[in-house]
Amino acid sequence: MNHYYTLVALDIANDRVREAQDHRRAAVAKAAQPARPSIARRGLALGLAAVSRGSAHAARRLDSVVADDLGRSLTPTK
């Protein structure tokens, strides 16, 4: 009977070792993944990108109007 308890103890120890290895592998896999930005950070970045795109569009329109006016002023009139 004594040998039976030794085998059961070894089996339990092996199970715990496997579980610890699984946890270690999961921790290593999680650490290897890139960090994801928070929801607030992502929302702020998207909002600033929208403002930037809008201001770039407005600047392009203004440049277009100024270029047209400059082109008209430089053309010779008869």
What would the pLDDT profile of 46-75 be if each residue is shown by its tens digit? 999 999 999 999 988 888 888 777 777 777
Per-residue pLDDT, 23: 96
Per-residue pLDDT, 54: 94
Per-residue pLDDT, 1: 61
pTM tops 0.85, yes or no: no
For the chain, the average pLDDT equals: 87
Q: Are 37 and 45 in contact (CB under 8 A)?
A: yes
How far is it, in rounded angstroms, from Cα 53 to Cα 58?
Answer: 9
Both tokens of residue 38? 């928070």
